[in-house]
Structure formats: structure tokens, C-alpha cells
Chains A and B, each alone.
Chain A
């Protein structure tokens, strides 16, 4: 055996020697093509691909733009070949040469591709294609356009892709933004969302993208509608975002390291305006508060707020003592005359605090990334990275988000026919604070903190005051920080994403590739309130509680793809493709909870009282099969026709509608390449059009008849099955054009008209069936979208470059058919489940609620004729609201003439029983019921963004302003604060006697509606015209200022930068941040996207971050 091995080694050595010798012999016959690739401004272009397609040879240029192509002598026959050059950001160039033995020089200059039409795109196309030849709109964003890494790859697309409405609805570190491409596509997306299909390196992603390190991204391609996304079939109706991570395709031999480190702080830019003044009853000094004592005269006893706070909170127990009552307590016990008589103008005694400022505290932001790019020989290339990101956020006691990510991408060629690509990443991330959002404790309670309250005050045992707010209201007056420092909550995620692609290219006309990809996400959550958990009043919560959950998402997809090319002539080139795709997605979840711990500090569930324990679990599997056939025809390089058909089978469709067909026909005309084109200033002009269909799949359980298993094992009927349930069918017609002037100025425009038929809706069924609803196809949504972009390289000199990019989009999404009666829908949070209405002709996302009248025409006759004049009974007050003042008065006389305490109790509009003086009036119907009317739309009228990129020698500066105009937000947190007179607009200090309003002006509506107020803005907890407010904004989204240092101590190539994210917002919105919304939720009638559920309710505000970065390559 040993002998044999030695023999083999010897034989190998001989063979190698012969080969080397042969090679040396052959070298004399080789052709060598050398040269330098530069920009048209003379700058060398590193990393450009230089190819001779005929010989399937290619190299990459060095840092100085040089290249050398060695052609073995055996392949040199004096033939004509074309040397082609491609580089990202440049237009390709080529030169025909005669291949002869020996050296020859070919230098080429590349023009800047300001329109990115020469970039290769792979999304939606049947194979990688130059953008100029793609007959539908694909937006491509390269890494160079993503200079400010975000925690989520989607966040950094904000303002960069026209037609992509990306809303960071929550500022919770690690949160994923909501994405709408060309507007909402489903009236109801409950349980499935409105987000597009996400693909990373061929892996169809099943879960959050926060597990992906954005620094690994090479480019992102966005196909926004069915006209382009048909290739992806039944899941692609909402569009596709395809992320490609970095590889070493343009790497030179050897290994290159990249290092990037960024550190700084995050905080929150804006406040939401808690009241600074109060309207409580005090003694004559204004420092002692009246105490409610039955049987004693008003204010017979007083107390000191601080002493009472100490008495109530400074107890050894786990709960506060009941505080003394206020005789007039804006927290709860108020009614009648005080609502008319008291004006919130009194400053609080002692020190005033701002709870928002106390809760928000700047916290560190740190990110370190090390990557490695290399090539071994001509066949092995790799990219590897590791990164750590830690965003603590800006909320006291919370730790934020930590992500450790690792990636290895390898490309391996075997011979000239085979190529393999491996893409793998592993991420471990943790997050906290989930339970504080959307009605959770902290941000809700923050709306109820008077200015006298110091939420950082500690008792003698070193604990935060649990009930620093002494006013009525129970647990909602708990210190907003209490759960943040008492509750342990951590969400931990482990994520592996991997793919293997094999490509076989035996001949020029045939390529076969296969892909297998796998995505595994395991997430656990733990929430523990330990024994001794403090509350405002004694309860079993003091004994603690434990919640644990584990969820698993697992997806695998495999595809086989065959592409054939045939040129009928040099003018007429054709491609044909066949594809088979299989997908399987599994989801499992288990959760368990219990309360009343036996032992402090033990977090096992068996430490809870057995009778309190509860468990739940869910398990779903989805399988899909796709069969695709397509063709692409190109004539004379300027007429392109593309067509495909895809047949999709899905386990999500009803058994009687198991398969659905989608397809696309599209074409492009490169007009500027016509021989007759005679406008030299227009260097490129093309038009394209596409019509395609794609699908929107139902949620998992929609097709099934379902019973529910209630607590105790009892059964109940839930959903009537639908064996004919089909996917939503998206039809999209898209037209567009690309115009380039003087090889510099680029303008793109796209108009898309989409109809989404077969809307999947949960329709109530007759109660006589016993079931609650049935999912059925019952409507149509129509989207019209206009997208534009303009690239302007203002200055393009070697030392000074300044370019600008503008994008604009406008979308209208209207319900155009509804096969069921109109219905209201919304989100999960209290008061939000019926905020929108679906009816034919209605723009999706239109808020419905009560309206306070502002115009005389809104009053019924004859009252409308006694309105508007200086002595009329109804007049507009200083805020524009129409109020009743009685004949001969005006709205400024309420205090001076003691009119606030008057009312009209007969002969009132709509027959209502009472109209209180000066109070806002709700629009009503003829029977006196307050009307639900449209109040504006949650989706923007239009959006635009401006990017500035300036480079001067070693300095560069980049800024992105992102604007969203015309959308409304229901400011529910602000609305809610009215109930306790804790929103700043209740403060009257500084107002004139004429303009000041009593507290009742801001409180509940009146007995007319069954309430005890006078007709104020709180109204009831539902949208109204005062609290559904304009939320237009322009944000300075990203700023980067950097200086290229160069090598330090002859090592590396260093840059230092200042980075800002969300630095400044221009808006008239009164909440924390106009960019806000509630998550998709689980409610049956849910819009399914935070980009539509524009409700500002106790959500983490977005973070503003300022950092210093240092980066280098070695």
C-alpha cells in the first residue's frame, strides 16, 4: 500500500513537471492582453471585470486599474475577439481586437453610469441582465449608496427607492420597519402582512431581517409589483426585495481585510408635550393641596404633595398605600362645575420635572465589523465577516439590541463548466423592552405623569417610588419606569441562513443551475416579574409571574433552473428558461406562563402556582411548488420582449383551487439606439412596459374549517372552511421611461396601475351556521403609483464632485370592488379596531371618527343661518372651532362675562338636549348621534427624498433628507392624556383672558352621548378631528462626513467619519415622532401593516444616533 502511494506521488510529480514544462513551452505561443481601465475623468478603476466572452476568460483590475489577460497559445488562432469591461457605477465599454501571440495593450475608459442602466440586475429577470434591457422597473441600490449601516437592512433603504414606503413604526432597537411597495395590496392582511417577499442570496426569507448584518450587503434590488415580480408567483404580489451579500467576485489574488468601527450615542429627538401646569384645588399659598374629607368644608384640610408621596410610597410592602383624595381631581373625580370653572394655569409648587426627559437618557451605540475578502487561484473566492452591534437605545433601564453576526460566502469554480456558490450566515441577537409597547406599561404611563412628579425619586429602601402620581386612576398612575427596572424581558434569537448554488455551463447556449437554501430561526422570550414585584395596590402580581416562549421558523427551498440561448442571427437573440421550485416553511411556537412564585429569584415555571399555569402552542406547515417557463427575445439590441408563465401550487389555497397561474409579458425599446436617433444631447432614452400577474397567499388557517379549543378543553366553532379559497390575484400594468442627457443627467419615471382581485377577507357568516366567519375572495383594490427619480451630477471634477439625487412617489390605493357589505377595520389596540372603513370608492387607510365642526355649513338649518357673524349664536373661536356663544356674545367673553358656566338646553341643533358655552361641537346626524366621518388618510399624499453627495479631495459629505407628506396619524397617546388634563394643550398659562379655555374644553363629551363632560376633545377613545392630525414630515435621515486619512504608520487605508441617523425632523406633528404605527397585529379585520395602522399609541419613539466611525482596509 505504502509502495503504491509512493508510486502515485512519483507519477504525480512527473506529470506536474511535464505540465509545467509544457506550460513553459506553450508560453511562447500565448497571447497577453494588458491595459489600464480608467474612468472618463482619468481615474483608475479598481475591481473592474475585463472579459473575453468568446474564450470565457476574465480578470479583475488592480487598485491602479491595470489588468493582464493571458490566453493560452492553443486558443490563439488570430481570431477576432471583443475585450469587454464592466464596473459597478460605470457604463461598460468594449474593444474588438485580433488575438495574436504576444502582448498587446488595450486601455479603455468607462463613462459614469448615473442612471445605473448598465448595472446587472437579477431580480425578476429570467437570468442576470443589464438593467437597460430589463423591460420592467427594478430599483437597484448598491453598497456605495448605503453608506450609513442601519440595524435592519430595510431601514437603510428609506429614501432610496421610489415607490418603497418604509416606515420605522417603532424605535425599539432591532425592530423591523413596515414596508409597502407601491402601496397596500390587501384590504385585510391580518396574519400575513403587507410586506414584500424578501430574498437574501437566493434564500426566500422566513422571518425578520434584523438578523442580517447590513454591512454584508453588496446590493439590494427592489421589484415593486406584479409587472416585474411574476417570476416569483403566488408570494410576490407585494413585490420583491432581493438582497445580495458581498462576494469576492472582483477580488484580486490574496486576502484583503476590512475593518469598521463605529461608536456614539442614541437619544430621542423630540418630546410629546406633557402638561406643565395644574388645576387642582390648593390653599391660598398654592403649595398645599386640598384634601377630600366628607363632612368637612371644602379644603378644610390640606396636605403637602411631597410628604404624601413619601407616606404612600415609603412602605416596606410591595405596594403603595392609598393616597389622600383630591376634592377636584383631574385624574378621575371631576365633573360638573369645575370643568367649566377651572383653568390649568397654576404652576406646581417646588421643582417641576419632565418625565420624558427623565425616561429618555442617551445610551451607547457601538458597532464593529471585520471582514475578509480573498481569492485563491482563479477558482476560489470568499468573503467572510464578523460583526457586533450593540444599540442600547435611549430608555432608562433598557439594554436594547445586541447582534453578533458571522458570515462566510464562498465561490468555487471547477473547471470551466461548473461553479458553486455557498452563502452562510449565523446570527445571535438579543432584544429587550417588547412588553412596553402598544399599550404596555412604560410608554402608556408616561402620558399620565404630572410635572410635579420626579419619577427617579427613591424611597428610603432605595426603590423607585411606585406611585409618585397621587391622583386617581389606580395602576395607570404607576411610575412609568417601574416595570422597566422590575421586569426582566429578553428576546433571544439564533438564526442560520445558508444556500448552495451549483451552476453548470457546459456550452455557451446552455446553463443549468440548482439552488438549495435553508433558513432556520429559533427565538425564545423570557419575561419574569420576580416575587416582590411592586404595584400601586396589593394584588397577586406582587407574588411575581413568569412567561416563556419559544418559536421556530424553518424554511427550505430548492430550485432547478435550465436556461437555453439561441441566436437566430446576430440581430435576433433568444433565451428560454424552465424552472422548478419547491418551498416548505414550518412555524412552531410554544409558550407557558404562571404566576405567584413560591421562591424569590427562581425563574423556573414550576416555581409558580400550579393553578395559574397556562400553555399554548401552534404548528403550521406550508408547501408550495412552482413551475415556470419563460422566454426573452432581443432584436438588434434595442427591441426586447420578455414573457413567462408560472404555475403555482400551494397548500395555502383551498383544495378546489390548489393551483394558480401567473405570468408576464413585457417589452422595452431602446429608442436612443435607433439609427435615426438624432438628438446627441439625449444619450440614452428608452421606454418599457410590462403587464404581469402575481399572487397574495392566504394566511395558514384561512381555508380550513376550524374549531377552537378553549380553556378547559371546551370546543367552539370558529371558521367555516372554504375549499375554493384562491390567492389574491395582482394584475399590474407598468409603463416607464429612462432618459439620460449628456451622459450625465438621468431621469426615470414609472407609472404603475395595479388591480388586486380576489381580496381575501374574513367575512362574517350567518350566526345560524354557528361559525364566526369564513375567509373568502371578495373584493378588489386598485393601486395607482407614480415614481420618479432624478440623478444630477452637479460637479464632476477629479478633486471636486457633487451629485444630487431626487426621488418622488405618489400612490393611491382605492377599494374598487367589494362583494361584501362595507366594514370597519383597524388594529389590535383598544380603540383602534374600527378606525378605517372598507367600502367601494374609499381610499384605503382613511380614518373614520368624530368631527368637531368648524364651518357654519356643518350646522343644520336654521342654526346655520345664525352662525359666523360677530353677534351670531355660533362663532368660530380662536382655534377655528365653531362653538355656541349665544346671540350677542363672542368666544372671547367666556371669562369676562362669566359665560363658561352657561348652556343652551332647548332648541339646539340636531335636537340635542344641551350645548355648553364655548365648547367644541360634534357633527351629528338628524337624530343627534355623533357621526363617523372621514378624517384623512393614514397613507401619504406623496413622498420625496433628496440625497446630496459631495467629495472634495479627502473630504466627503453625504446627507439624505426623506419626506412624507399629507398622511394623518391618530395621536392616541396625546388623545389619552386629555382624559387627565396631562397634555400640554390643556395648559392655559400665557394665554389671554379671551383665549383661555377651562379644562372641560379638553375632556369628555357630554351627557348627550352618555358621558359626564361638556363636549371636549377627549370625546371618547376613538379617532376624532382634533387628534387625527397631520403628520407630514421631512427627516434628515442620514448624514455622513468623512475624511480619508490614508495609511497610518504605513498600515491600512484609513477613513474617519462622523455619522448621524434621524438627526432632525421638520414637522408640525404633536407626538414624539410622525413616523409611527401599530404593528400588523392578529385581529381578523386588520390592515396588517404599521405603515397603514398610523396610530401613535405608547410606542418606542425612533432613535436619533450620532457616532464617530473609523474604517480601514488592509
Chain B
């Protein structure tokens, strides 16, 4: 399959995504390795990260995105601002409860509700995983057969990535598009 895979850190939190990406690479050896992005500050690196994805799309690839926290938020913003890009899979792990992408173009007149996120753009499958722990907890509001919203109230914002149930959801989905 002609895909490019990206794993994006949250701000200042790298180890959980690093480890997850390594394990996902091992679990899917026939697919290209995950490119890890967002190691500095995902909101401020958006343009560079976007350029990496654009290069992949330009090479004819479809995209897989796994992002945590602010990297999850970018997982919402990038397909929204690049509706021509094809995402095979988007996994957003605990996006922020204080931010949103809903009604982005109408921000000035219809402020989004914090913590409510909407899957936008061109995607095959979207999985949102959330905790109840601030600053995570963002909910995927899109009601669509391609979208899933999984709630793990017993997990914390950082530890959620290492949770066995969460990893099973992520790995099953990643293997499906490998």
C-alpha cells in the first residue's frame, strides 16, 4: 500500500509517542516506518509538519496520522485545512479540552465549543481516544460510521498511550491499513 505514516508528539511530551511508533513499526514491518514529528512544539511546527505531509501527498501517498495531545489537535487541523489530502487513518489521542476545530472558518461569529472536535477533510477512518484528565479529554463529535470515540476515564493524559486497551485499538487500526 502506498502510504506515509506520521506520529506526532504533544508539546514537550515525546517518549510515549516515540515508544508507540517503534512498536507500531515492529508490528507492521512491511509498511514504511512512522515519521515522528512535533518534537519541539506542535502548534508552532505546524507549517513544517504540513510540508512533510505535503511532500508525501505529492509523492502519491495516502496518509496515516497518530497524534497525542497537541499532536492530536494537529490531526484535526491538517485534514481540515487540506481537504484534498487522503487520510487512510487518523488516530487522535486525548486532544485538548480547551480547544476545538468546529466551525473553524466562522470562528469570529460562531465560536467553537472547547473540547468538541469534528472530523473534517478526506478520511477513511477516524479514531479519537480520550481521558477525563485536563488538558486532554477532547471529544470527537462527528457522528459517522467512519468515526469512533473511545473514552478511558481511568487513564491519565500521558499514560493513556501506554494503556493496553488503547494500544490494542491503535495497533488493530494501524495493522488494518498496513
Partners in one complex: no
* B positions within 8 Å CB-CB of A: none
Chain A positions near chain B (C-beta within 8 angstroms): none
